[in-house]
Amino acid sequence: MKMIFGKLGKVFASSIVALGLVAVMPMRAQAEDGYELWLRHARMDPEAAAFPTGFMLDCETNSPTLNIISDELQSAFMAMTGSELVRHDKLEDGTLILSSTQCSGSLQSDLEAVESDEGYIIRSENGEEIGHTLIGAKTDIGLLYGVFDYLRQVASEADLTKLDITQAPAIDLRVLNHWDDLNGHVERGFSGESIWDWFRMPDYMSPRYTDYARANASVGINGTVLTNVNADATVLTPRYLEKVAALADVFRPYGIKVYLTARFSAPMELDGLETADPRNSDVQEWWKTKADEIYEYIPDFGGFLVKANSEGQPGPQDYDRDHAEGANMLADAVAPNGGVVMWRAFVYSAEEPDDRVKQAYDEFVPLDGKFRDNVLVQSKNGPLDFQPREPIHPLFGGMEKTPVMLELQLTKEYLGFSTHLAYLGPMWEEVLDTDTHVKKEDASVADIVDGKTFNHKLSGIAGVANIGRDRNWAGSIFDQANWYAFGRLAWNPKLSSSSIAEEWIDQTFDLSNAGEETVLSMMMGSREAVVDYMTPLGLTHLMGTGHHYGPGPWVDDLGRADWNPYYYHRATADEIGFDRTKTGSNALAQYAKPLRKKWSNLETVPDNLLLWFHRVGWDYEMKSGLTLWQEMVRHYDRGVDAVAKMQSDWLNLEGEIDAERYQQISDFLGIQHKEAKWWRDASLAYWMSINGLELPEGSAQPEHSLEYYKALSFPFAPGQTQ
């Protein structure tokens, strides 16, 4: 892997030196603490592979983005080889050509295949006498993306003399959602305090903001929502808009727009209006004036993300208006400047429904076609709440006239926080690949989200960020892979999670082939291990109250039924599971007929969704021939064993990975193993207290009593204010 990065670094660094756009940068410190993410550049032997002999910049003008490209090349080259490549004034054998139409490059005919302003080509031209490689784009941002892709090609040991790549993003809006408060707290954040130091901005802009933008651009992320969906209207005041504008200035050369969360009651809270009714003309005018003010500070402001009428947040339903009326009022305010509104579909009413997972569909599908063209309905991947496994949300395919934007969660609120290795690429791939069956073809969730199925002109994927002030950004080294995978899947939702993991490994560690295979195996099996020791066989929402840390399937004393884990399993001495068929809540009716047929039938529903859709006896015979109880115990045991294997596999990598990162991962795997056993033991102790059954032969008894597990308390768990 070092050899591969050296090749790219040499090409890029020579580009910078020859351009003369920046001074030679000092070599980076060699400490491996995870700060450099997948953009680290280890020293290597430049003679180990055939590098380009030099580069040409086919541009007549300069730009901040071209300077960034130059910095990237210089940094990579100096770190990896310590020497320079020459700039070619004319085409020579082995030249790397960088060209952008935006900078008046002469190779515009070569870029006709690039359909998007963010797209690019990477093409090897191997003539009889002269061979070269072109990285070309219509814009400088596209060229930046192409440079980062070339880096990935080198890291994956691609034959650089046979490249023929034409790339454009499948998704328009590829956006991180920061659940960050203005006081520095991060809701559900497990990587320290907020990355945004609002108090010191704009007079001090941390270099970390630039590094953040660079990392995002390297995987194609083009937007960031800076503030919590549980919004604070203060961010819309001039004092804070000045700070937001300073961040936008940092991000702009990397192709990243800023967005803000809009608190629906802001007109009342900031300027004393008596109402926030979206039909009120004064309210409408207030939002238009506020939007114009924001665009004065930030000309390329992306728009608003809104959480309304959910978990106590104000919204249009407070005034007997619907979601479309609320979203359209804001959409009209930002439309003149090209802004969008991302209106979240995560809602549940103050009244207790017969089944909480049905509410978003029931509220939004009747409004299909009533939203403005610049509104996207933003839906979580499943109908509940970022659980280790859920079926797809029925809104994907349920709204033909409205673009539905997929919301994923990078921060692992329900998957063991930052200390549990849980690579989420397979989870997201599972969701994106699921066929909604709303059409005969091209109707996977990926096809819905990218607009292909219903010919939507606007598309988006959002990711709840796992980024904070921890030195390694994400709380753990392996959680960086989820940030990386989100960006890559947002660019192309049909990439495989395995290939993405391989890319990340190549760029993050310097491993032997056997070592790479070990880490890949750990990553690809990690999410299923978490499902096994937390919520096997379609169980869901069994986490502790509030903090969602650790098991709490026994909890049944909260203010409303659907806040309680018991609500989702309803275990008795005879049965367990939630009946969502016709004999129960009939949530299955919200899906297309083929899915209804498959999931409603006990013979065809997959085991991993059994208890999500069905209520069955503990002695129900599974496809394996085991009873439900025996199969459940087997899954719990398998999950714990999988973590133990990850521990032993990791031990074999000692010496291949720098000491600091190796030790952190080793320690975190120790925590994960201890907590996997806790999950297994506490859950089984509770189920046994309900069903009165003994554990199958060979399965160990829980380490402690059920009373012990119930008595555990975590008032200051990460991501909580108290």
Residue 40: what are its φ and ψ, rounded to 5°? Answer: -70, 155
E strand or H helix at 704: none
Q: Which of 115, 311, 373, 574 is catalytic?
A: 311
Q: Is the peptide bond before 316 cis (omega within 30 degrees of 0)?
A: no
Task: Exactly one of 413, 470, 532, 681 is catalytic; name it.
Answer: 413
Give the Cα separation of 703 and 196 in Å (integer): 43
DSSP classification of residue 572: -
- Of 108, 7, 8, 2, the closest CA to residue 49 belongs to 7
Angle CA 135–139–141, to nearest 5: 85
Helices of type H across 358-416 = 359-364
SS3 of residue 714 by DSSP? coil
Which of the 8 DSSP states describes residue 543? Answer: B
Annotated catalytic residue 325: no
The residue type of 401 is K
- In this structure, are residues 146 and 58 in contact, taking their beta carbons and an 8 Å threshold? no
Q: Do residues 142 and 150 touch, judged by C-beta distance below 8 A?
A: no
b/e map of 109-123 (b: 16 or more CB within 10 Å)?
ebbeebebebbbbbb
Q: Which two tokens stand for residue 384?
A: 């509940």
Assigned token pair, 223:
């937007």
Residue among 297, 226, 296, 292 at smallest CA distance from 262: 226
Q: Convert 94-108 into a string of H (helix), E (strand) and C (coil).
A: CEEEEEEHHHCCCCH
Task: Please answer whether residues 462 and 342 qualify as being in contact, where contact means their C-beta atoms are separated by less than 8 angstroms.
Answer: yes
129 within 8 A of 165, measured Cβ to Cβ: no
d(CA 424, CA 226): 23
Question: Cα–Cα distance between 53 and 562 in angstroms, integer?
Answer: 64
| Those residues with Cβ within 8 angstroms of residue 319's Cβ, 6 or more apart along the chain or in another chain | 275, 276, 277, 278, 279
Provide the sign of the torsion angle of the four alpha carbons 105, 106, 108, 111, taken in this order.
Answer: negative
What are the percentages of helix, strand and coil residues in the chain, rounded to 5? 45, 10, 45
Instruction: Give the containing element (helix H, strand E) for 377.
Output: strand 375-380
Quote the CA–CA distance of 255 and 116 in Å, as a whole number: 14
Polymer length in residues for the chain: 722
Query: Is the CB of residue 151 less than 8 Å from the CB of residue 8?
Result: yes
CA 255 to chain centre: 18
Q: Tokens 């012990």 sit at which residue?
A: 708
**DSSP run (H or E) holding 471:** none
Is residue 407 classed exposed, middle or buried when 0-12, 13-18 and 19+ CB atoms within 10 A define those classes?
buried
Residue 530: CB atoms within 10 Å:
28
Distance CA 649, CA 505 (A): 16
Q: Is 506 a residue of the active site?
A: no
d(CA 639, CA 626): 18
Give the strand pairing for 131-137 and 164-167. Answer: unpaired
Q: Which amino acid is at 332?
A: D
Burial of 78 (0-12, 13-18, 19+ CB in 10 A): buried
* Alpha helices (runs of H) in 81-206, residue ranges in sequence order: 140-155
Question: Could you give the 3-state DSSP secondary structure of residue 167?
Answer: strand
How far is the CA of 543 from the CAs of 134, 539, 547, 580, in angstroms? 52, 11, 8, 21
Q: Which of 385, 429, 479, 681 is catalytic?
A: 385
Instruction: Judge whether 18 and 86 are in contact, CB under 8 Å.
Output: yes
Q: Is 385 a catalytic residue?
A: yes
Q: Which residues are catalytic?
A: 311, 385, 413
